[in-house]
Structure formats: C-alpha cells, structure tokens
Structure 1
Amino acid sequence: MNYQSFEHPLSPHYVKDGIANPVHPQPGGIGYRHWLGLIENSVDGNNERRPARVIQQFRLTHEDSRMWAFGYDMDNMKARCWYDATMPILAIEEGLEADFKAYIEKMVQAASLTAGMLRKQLKLAIFGEVEVRGDISFMQSHFWNATEGEFFEQARRLRTAIKQGDSEQVVLEHWLSTLKRAAYAVFDTYSQTGDFDAADPRRVALARNELAKSLNGKKLRDLLGLPRQERSAA
C-alpha cells in the first residue's frame, strides 16, 4: 500500500521535494533538540519539519500542556529501539509567537553547536588524531540530557520576558552559561582527566583548552545574538 502524501494527524512530518514524510525516532532518543519540528515549525533552506496536526490544532487554544512523543527507531523493517519522552507545550500570546520561536531556535541551535564542539574535543582527548569508527554519540546524549531541564526552565523565563517586554539577554546569557558548564562536566567525565592510566594527560589538557576556546569564542555569542565580551587589557 502506498501512503505517499498521506499525513497522519498524530505524526510530525518532514517535507522533501514537496512531499511530506513521517518523522521516526533516531538513535539518541527524543528530547528538547527535537522541539523544532515537534512543537514548532522549522524551515532550514529547502528543508521543512512540522509538528503533527493535532499539535498545531491544540496550540490554537493558547493553553499550556504536555506532549508525549514516542515510536520505534527503525532500521529498514527492523526495530532497533523504542523511545518515548514528554515535553511541555508552552502557550504564547497571539502576536508574540514569532519572537518566542526565533529565540527558542537560537537556544536549540546553540546547544547543537556546543554538542558538536564537545564531540570534536572528546575524540581528540580520548583517541588523538586517529580516525575512530566507534560510536560515541552516547557522550553527546549525556550533554543533551544534562541540559534538558534547564532548557525548559529558560524557555518559560523567555516567555515571561517577551510577554512583559523585558530584555531576553539575561535568559540567553544564563543559557550560554548552562551549555558551558555541561560541556566541561561531560568532557571531564569521559576524558578521565584524573586517571592518567586511561588517557594521555597532555592530550586531554590540550583538548580541554581547545574546548574552552570554542565555548568562549564568538560563534556561540553571535548565534545567540549576544554582544561580544571585551577582553580585559593585560
């Protein structure tokens, strides 16, 4: 049976070549990094992800609630894993949705960028320059899980700031600090900086230093729309 072009009302979809396809869970589970596409529409160039129709319809009520997302991670016809998670649906007043969505996008994108920085330096710390095929995605999953609770808390604070006409900068600065702390903590956990039998201490130190440079560089601040910090005079 051909289900092409049929959109199940309980499934989120991605649009490719003008055709909507259902989204399935992927390795690593479901979390706030999927907010864009599960709760909010997401358009990146020619790629579009949109929530299930029931979510789109419910959000018209402008009421807070929770969403339960679940499904199998499939490899062709083989089920690899079952995933499920809940996350809040935060109502935002009509006319303020665009601002809220724009800042939420920045927060998720900043977390994704941080996770990439962390992965790169963890590979260097543990394996050096050698190309390794092993799966270290669980290390990034640790980072995502460690920051999820704070993401939803800051999303609520962001909503309040937008509603009251306050600056969002305090929320975004707090979020950036959260990402940095989590990245350092996860790096230290898996690079085993205190166990010199398990890793080259010099390599670990150099990788951590590079991680610090990335976390404190301009990319994250620019992505979040935060002013660059002035370096103190020597």
Structure 2
Amino acid sequence: MRRRSFTLTDMSNAVFSLLDQPWLPVLRRDLSTGVVRRDRIRPCDLTDRIAVEPVVAFDWQRPDFDAASREFMIGLLATACPPQDDRDWLDHWRVPPSPERLAATFAPLARAFVLDGDGPRFLQDHDDIAAASQGVAGLLIDSPGQKTADDNLDLFTKRGRVPALARATAAIALFTMQSQAPSGGAGHRTSLRGGGPLTTLALPAGTSSLWHLLWLNVPSYEASAGDDLHLVFPWLAPTRTSEDKKPPTTPTYIDRDGRQCFWGMPRRIRLDFRPAVEGEVCALTGAADAVMVESYRTRPWGVSYAAVGHPLSPMYRQKESDPGWLFVHPQPDGITYRHWVDLVVGEASPLRRSAACVAKGRARLALVRQSRNARLLACGFDMDNMKARGFVEAEMPLFAIAAAERLDGFARQLVSAAEFAGSRTAAFVGDALGIDKADATPRAALRERLFAETQDAFFGVVDAAAGRLEADPNLPDFAEPLARGFLDRVLRPAATRLFDESVQLSDLDTRTLARAVRARLFLTLMLKGQGKDGAALFKALGLAVEAPSEPKPRKGRRNATEEISS
C-alpha cells in the first residue's frame, strides 16, 4: 500500500492539542457504495457521519500504533464519559453522541492533552530534563537499542531509518512506548503492565463502526475527576520518581482513581521540537508538518508501578497461594485456541483472569443480540527482554450466549484434550526417533502444529455447541456427540498425520523401525481410549472409557510408549 501524503494544520506558533487537532489517521467506509477512504480526525470526530460513512478503523499502517490508538480512545472515553450502567451504555450504543457533544465532554481534560508548549506535556516529565538528546527512533519499541547498533547487529530493523517524526506520529509513538514499555536498562521502568503486555478486546459482529468497537470495551468508572486530574494524568504533577533501591510502588495511588491505568507514565521523557525544513516529511507516515520531532531526552527512575489490574489485559499467577497477579504477554508461537479459553473464560480458573472488557463485552453483546458472530482480538509485542521479536495479532470467535457457562466448560474440555493429545503425540514421536527428552524444542513445535492445524475445526465444534445451547440453554447431553466428533474427525486424524509426517518409516534402520512401529501402535491405542493415556484423553473429553485391548508392555526401562499400559 502506498504511503499517504497529507499536511497537518499549521500550528507552528501554537500548542499541539491532541483533542483539537485532526491527528488520528482512520479509514471510513461509505455504507451506500462500500468504498473505503482515508481521513484524519480529532478524537471527537469518531462519530462524525456515522450513519452514512462511519469511521471503521485506525490507519497508521503499523499494527502497534493502531492498537495503541484503540487503547488511547478507550482510555479517553473511560476518563471523560464512562457508562454509568448497562442502560447508559445501551443508549449510547444505539444513538452515539454527536461530535459536538463529545468535544464538550472532552474539553475539561484539555490541559492534559497538550503535546508541546510551556505547560504540562502529554505523557512527558513534569519538568524539563537536562540530558543529552537521542534520536526519536528510540521511541519505537521495534527499533534497535544503542548497544545493538554499536555492535552492528541491527540486521532487520536498521538504525537511521527514522530521522524525524511529525507531531502526530511522535504522540502515538510516545503513547505506545509508555503503555507497552519494555525493560530499558537500569532505572528505565517497564509499563504498568510490564514490557509488551497482551491486550484483548471484544469485537462486534460484521463491519461495525469504530465507535461501536471502542464503546463495547469502555469500562465503567465514576465520571468526574474534578480538581484531581493529576490522579488520572501523572504528568500534571511533579513526577513520582523511584531512585531508591526499594522503589515505591503505586497501587494506593492508582486505587484513588483507577483510570490512571490507561495513562501510566513509567518513562521520564521530554520530546524536542523544531521547525520543519522545506520539503521535510514524517519518516513513518509521509505527513508534512510545520514542526517536527527529531530527538528526545530521558532520565531513569520514573514511576514504578505495582501489578495493578488493567481492564484490557488478562492476568495469571503460578499457584493459588501467590498473592500477586502477573500480566499475560505474547509468546513466539503466537495465539491459538490453546490460549483462547484463558483469554475468554479465565474466571473459571483460580490461576487465570481474562480481561474485564472481554467478560463485560460478552454480556453487552448478548444484550444487543450479537451473540454468534462477535470476535476476540488479542495483540501485543512479543518481547525478549528489551528486544521486540515481533508484533502478534490474532482474531478468534467470541461466543456470547445466555448459556455461556456451559459452553465455556465444553470448550475447556476440548482444549484440555487437545493439550493432552498433542503432548503425548510429541512424546511418542520422541520415543520413535530417540530424541533426548531434555530437548523440548521439537516436542513443543509439534504440539503447536497440532493446535494450528485443528483450530478451525475446534471453533466449528464450539460454534455448533453454541447453536444448540442458544436454541435451548438447558439442553441435556449436548456435549457428548460433539466431543466424540472432535475426537474422531479432528484429533485422531491430526495426531496420526503429524506422527506419520515426523516419523518416516521407510527411512529408518531396523532397530529404529521397530521402536517407531511400537510407538505408533501405542498412539493408535491412546486415540481409541485404551490404556492410561487413553483413559486420560477420554476423561478430558467427557467420554466413557472403552474396554482395554492392547499388548503387554516389555519389562525394563519405561518410556512414553510403555506408560500407556500402566
């Protein structure tokens, strides 16, 4: 896609307000023709022309900036005009507020959204910073760090590719950094949710407007901040630094106004602004701007946040006795239905919490009768300490029916069965090929392949269950035939195929061939419900265990192919 070219309003002699400037790039869809065009809007223009040509998505052409823009707008709506109850939420879902009304609602927050100027600056240190300037590319989480550049290891993301940014781009880069900040070295704090947190959102069915997507995920808070805006926007007061060896954490500070979770400021940063030179454009967007950001200054020991909750992110803990919860982060293997249960129905587990917006979103979708075609969006940076390995983004179905608890329990059974089948299939392959049990990489890769190759079928089975429960929420015994079908038509053929692809019998020597044939036999028996492994698989699926019929195990050292006999 070609890079757009546009010009921001010339405000070289005025402050750059993120509420008053049309700085957000979006896509609009003409409902009569289906034609999509680009536009730039102010936050209050989110509902402009919503009945004929609604805004449908952000359009930075960077998924991390698009995700950050969604969080920015959800945070702004939650701060300025959160729904007071379900009735209030439903009223604004059906009849969105006009741009004029939104502008008036946002106006009391104006002083917190000024990017430059002599007063408080958006997401920047309260006071000026006396430090050496560094290139603005350092605000991009995927940019190489200074040591990487010094060691000439920036092989994929090159240094020097971002000489200057327009103010709009600098603003969203700054917000992305503060809300996603990874470890930045001694004293450079991670974000409120740690480095590269996973964000999950409920998505309405079809091609809904961006307003409806955002409003679906806006949490409820008390509506007024009054004179205590600094409790929401920490840059309106002197920075709470954390130089001590045991830095202060801030749960009490945030508990005074939970909306600060959207506006956390772990990094101490001051942007450097300068007049643009003739013909200069933003390195990322191609935007012409009268003022550019070429560098910034930073100091360590910004706000140190405790693990407080965030309505857009799931959490976990290692064991029930752990007092604190940790935020979930994307992993290199991506997001599959193995993660779906915890992202959607985490409340059913004492070790998992799904994001509050997902649980609330499901209830709201049921309220507006969008129960079957809604989606779950999960995204975030996959981080290796300070290094971004990539940005992960996935969409999956989100079922919002009255009998959600029964459906969730059934889905958890299928995932548990797939986990077990994948793990044991990998073990049988390892036994067949004599792979060292200490080498977990090939086993993990095979398990992930099983999930990837059975994902569509999994959601098809869950959708069939949702259809039955939607027609009759009290339907008895709906799960058994569907679970049986999942085993017979999905898990069994997938596991067998993966084994056969991994263990090519024709290429094996006599000794290895005998071991491989035996491993495949025990895989087959497990998938038929026989032996200890078969019983465990059928139990996970909620199926009756079949009568055993298998050869006796050999005496001596036990491996995966023999454990099934126990």
Normalised by the length of structure 2, the TM-score is 0.38
Shift of 1:201: 1.9
Percent identical among aligned pairs is: 30
- Determine if contact 1:9/1:54 at 8 Å carries over to the other structure: yes
Matching residue of 1:195 = 507
Q: Does 1:28 align with 2:360?
A: no
Q: Does 1:69 align with 2:362?
A: no
Secondary structure at the counterpart of residue 415 of structure 2: helix
> How far apart are the structure 2 equivalents of 1:109 and 1:142?
16
From the two aligned structures, give the one with the greater helix fraction. Answer: 1
Matching residue of 1:213 = 525
Secondary structure at the counterpart of residue 19 of structure 1: coil
> How far apart are the structure 1 equivalents of 2:409 and 2:437?
37
- Determine if contact 1:162/1:168 at 8 Å carries over to the other structure: no
Q: Does 1:139 align with 2:446?
A: yes
Normalised by the length of structure 1, the TM-score is 0.86
Matching residue of 2:395 = 86
- CA RMSD, Structure 1 to Structure 2 (Å): 2.2
How has the CA–CA distance of structure 1 residues 71 and 205 changed in structure 2, closer, same or farther, with 3 Å as cutoff? same
Matching residue of 1:122 = 429
Q: Which whole-Å deviations, capped at 9, do the CAs of 1:138-163 have from their partners, x for residues lacking one?
A: 22211111110000000011112333
Which consecutive unaligned segments of at least 5 residues does structure 1 have?
Answer: none
- Determine if contact 2:381/2:389 at 8 Å carries over to the other structure: yes
Q: Which whole-Å deviations, capped at 9, do the CAs of 1:87-124 have from their partners, x for residues lacking one?
A: 0101111xx22211111111110110101111101111
Q: Tell me the amino acid that sits aligned with residue 79 of structure 1.
A: A
Q: Which whole-Å deviations, capped at 9, do the CAs of 1:40-96 have from their partners, x for residues lacking one?
A: 12544xx42122222122111223411221222323323334322110101111xx2
- Determine if contact 1:36/1:49 at 8 Å carries over to the other structure: no
Matching residue of 1:227 = 544
Stretch deviating more after TM superposition (184-193 or 76-85)? 76-85
> How far apart are the structure 2 equivalents of 1:76 and 1:231?
49
Q: Tell me the amino acid that sits aligned with residue 92 of structure 1.
A: I
Which consecutive unaligned segments of at least 5 residues does structure 2 have?
Answer: 1-302, 529-533, 550-566
Secondary structure at the counterpart of residue 188 of structure 1: helix
How has the CA–CA distance of structure 1 residues 60 and 43 changed in structure 2, closer, same or farther, with 3 Å as cutoff? closer
Stretch deviating more after TM superposition (66-75 or 204-213)? 66-75
Q: Tell me the amino acid that sits aligned with residue 39 of structure 1.
A: V
Q: Does 1:162 align with 2:469?
A: yes
Matching residue of 1:10 = 312
The higher relative CO (CA closer than 8 Å, separation ≥ 6) is in 1
> How far apart are the structure 2 equivalents of 1:126 and 1:231?
26
Shift of 1:6: 2.4
- The match for 1:173 among 476, 484, 501 is 484
Stretch deviating more after TM superposition (176-185 or 206-215)? 206-215
> How far apart are the structure 2 equivalents of 1:49 and 1:77?
26
- Determine if contact 2:422/2:446 at 8 Å carries over to the other structure: no
